[in-house]
Structure 1
């Protein structure tokens, strides 16, 4: 029986080698399902060209189609694809900023954004730190000793998928916040934030936490991309309930340096 050979990484690399397809994947990285017309605009290509790109991404299993009546929407094929996008983002160089609009958008993405179904960016990391400091989750913050090496971990690199554990105090504290913690959850996933190079929470607990922030009106989505804005209610709630000050001391609400 032919069970196949080794993995064909080049097949995925071929898809990622096209900037238009990469822009589509980035647009979908917050977990939304978007029509081809919006993805064409995000990629800067004609609708007919976008359809061809989306066909290839879907055929290779990176995106999937959601049909609603006569309308078709596209989304990432699952959290592993979102994780692929985030990991590639950590090693890829930043695109040059050629306009004030692009600079404003890049800044907003680094401040706070959706990483598929959880919070990332400069806001995601301190929220994770706040849970650790309260003893609600236990685990490393992801900071690495640049002189150390353990196994195949290279010096100066951030360890991926640190092992976090939800404590009893954390289950109670998050419950008081109205977070619907999944039953039986004890191990908590994290991933390395590509802009902060530190851990932020991911997985079911992080998804439940982001859902609570959304329901409380603490965050507002940005039209057209996955950046998030912290509302006035969010500024107050983050400070009162988690001790997280926002915006960070070096940045005012407009993103200007203080």
Structure 2
């Protein structure tokens, strides 16, 4: 279990590092970069003033920007804010893409996955494409196929409504199924892939508090007139905040019923 808890921490680190890097690149001062919660077991202050800290419970994390002033997030342009909020999801999606592509090539599954797509081509072109599939040129064809798998497998994960207990249970099931050290390594990599897809997809939802919610607010600011915007934002934040709370209750309840009782 410890191995998979560490995997969760790695995925959170990837997400938060995306935000941290984007903030630093776009004029925002970062006060604290934290992984986990609870008592602090390690911390270090950089010359920039940012405090890096590691907490005792390695579940969760956050990047805390300065609250006010010219170096705060809200004082940046909409484009800079967009880059900051999308950076965490982009990092998770990129890592998931790399992991899945690497595993498919290692397991020799790419030609197998590519084969059904050959039927779309004219008969005279299929032998050429088959030869292409076995060459280095397959790297060109792989990205769209991996994206399809990212969406397909990721949506299947969300269909299970896995909460914290379920996420750990998935990791334990993968570890128990592994019969060799090689299979255990692949299980950990697969688990990292699943978590990266889950965190990226969850944060993409246009709900208040989430990265997708911040991006939605940027779009609302650019769509509605200043006199209407405060009311629009108030309705949006209350309604989507309640939806997020309801979603949290549903997932946690489902999680407990599935894995505890």
Larger radius of gyration: 2
TM-score, normalised via structure 1 length:
0.27
TM-score, normalised via structure 2 length:
0.27
Q: Which has the higher contact order (CA 8 A, sep 6+)?
A: 2
Q: Which has the higher helix share?
A: 2
